[in-house]
Amino acid sequence: MKAVARVRPTSDRWTSSLSLNQINHMVKSDASPEVYRFSAQRVAAEFDEALKWMSSLGIRTNSGRIFEYAKVLSNWAVLPEANDTFAAHALSPAMRSAVLDSNMFISVHRAFHKIPQSELGGIVDKLKMSIGGPADVADETEKASAPRNFLFEAVVAANFYCPNQGVHTFLSSPSDTGFTYLSRHIFVECKRLGSVNGIENNVRKACNQLTVALNEDSTSRHGGLIALDISNIISTDTAVADEKLLTSHMAKQMDQFIESSSIDWQKVYPQKDPRIFGALFRFSRLIQSEFDGLWVIATEWGVNPRQGLGWSETRYMQRLARALQSGSRDRNRSLRRSH
């Protein structure tokens, strides 16, 4: 029997919902997804704030793809209002990359900008490594994928930063990232997938890397998660222009992906470290609201525990999901007050 709980994400911004697929355990959530709309002017202003923060950390922001994104967003922001309300499918690939990728930098800035630079640890290094690569993700090759890989690691770290709920991100982790919650250290290895065919090998590699990190820690109660960005293998059609329908549609897409592909990672686990709890998934969508013409970025997060996960670990995952939901609410309220 499969049960699903919906939990808002900790991406703080434009949308909502972290799907938690539990096996033989029901986790209920009465929270309905929230949708955050933005204008071209707003996203350009927020990206500018993120770039200023990155510059203060010693990161070069006057060249490369983030410089291109800043120019694209600035030009978009000064267009007449009528030109800010054409259909999302009319956006060029370069524009879509600028909006979606700038949102990832914004989410990292929003999570960590109040932390002193001396305490940011590996986040600064990840951001330094994430500014290169082609501006348009469609032009990315395997050899040029490292910058977006590092950015994904930083975004996952931001997703788990909910200190008011007792979830604290490792800012210098032996794995790609990690967090502490309820006295447990959870190490996270991050992979971006280019195709369904790459799932098994990437999960196998991540499991091996997690074992190395876990073996550096002498506490058996600690664990590991694999984070997979599936944006490149999930359909991103723009037919849905209603925010509520969009979040429902994306939740179904996540569930369908887990149901159809889980064998590719579940068959890896039996030979791997039992301290690995399961996998985390992420993908994003960009649409334009048919109601008022404003823009919406929706990010869907999903967690699929490994089969046979113990009762204590399953309960831990349930409590973590609720903490992330509450952390998202806290940051959403803060975001509304700031605008």
| pLDDT tens sequence across 18-76 | 333 332 222 223 333 334 557 788 889 999 999 999 999 999 999 889 999 999 999 88
| Nearest-angstrom CA–CA distance, 270 and 65 | 41
Q: Per the structure block, which two tokens stand in for 17?
A: 């919902």
| pLDDT tens sequence across 101-112 | 999 999 999 999
Contacts of 84 (CB under 8 A, 6+ apart): 39, 40, 76, 293
Contacts of 128 (CB under 8 A, 6+ apart): 58, 59
| Nearest-angstrom CA–CA distance, 286 and 28 | 28
| Nearest-angstrom CA–CA distance, 137 and 97 | 6
| Nearest-angstrom CA–CA distance, 11 and 134 | 24
Backbone φ and ψ of 300, nearest 5°: -105, 130
| Nearest-angstrom CA–CA distance, 328 and 2 | 25
Arithmetic mean of pLDDT, 312-331: 81
Task: Give CA separation, 325 vs 30, 111, 121, 151, 267, in Å.
Answer: 11, 15, 26, 23, 30
The pLDDT value recorded for residue 339 is 58
Arithmetic mean of pLDDT, 179-208: 95
Note down the domain range covering 251: 2-338
- Residue 95: pLDDT band with limits 50, 70, 90: confident
Question: From the DSSP assignment, how many helices (H) and strands (E) are in the chain?
Answer: 9, 9
Contact indicator for 102, 51 with CB cutoff of 8 Å: no
Contacts of 254 (CB under 8 A, 6+ apart): 19, 281, 283, 300, 302
| pLDDT tens sequence across 127-156 | 999 999 999 998 999 899 999 999 999 999
Q: End-to-end CA distance of the chain, in Å?
A: 43
| Nearest-angstrom CA–CA distance, 53 and 121 | 15
Residues paired with 300 in a beta bridge: 283
Dihedral of alpha carbons 247, 253, 254, 256, sign: positive
Mean predicted lDDT score pLDDT of the chain: 81
Give the amino acid at 13: R
Q: Per the structure block, which two tokens stand in for 33?
A: 């997804």
| pLDDT tens sequence across 218-246 | 666 789 999 999 999 987 655 556 667 77
Dihedral of alpha carbons 54, 13, 10, 250, sign: negative
Contact indicator for 22, 305 with CB cutoff of 8 Å: yes
pTM of the full predicted structure? 0.86
User: 205 or 100: which carries more pLDDT confidence?
Assistant: 205
Backbone φ and ψ of 41, nearest 5°: -65, -40
pLDDT at 1 over 90: no
| Nearest-angstrom CA–CA distance, 300 and 289 | 18
| pLDDT tens sequence across 247-301 | 788 888 888 999 999 999 999 999 999 999 999 899 888 877 777 777 778 888 8
**Number of structural domains, the chain?**
1
| pLDDT tens sequence across 153-176 | 999 999 899 998 999 998 888 899
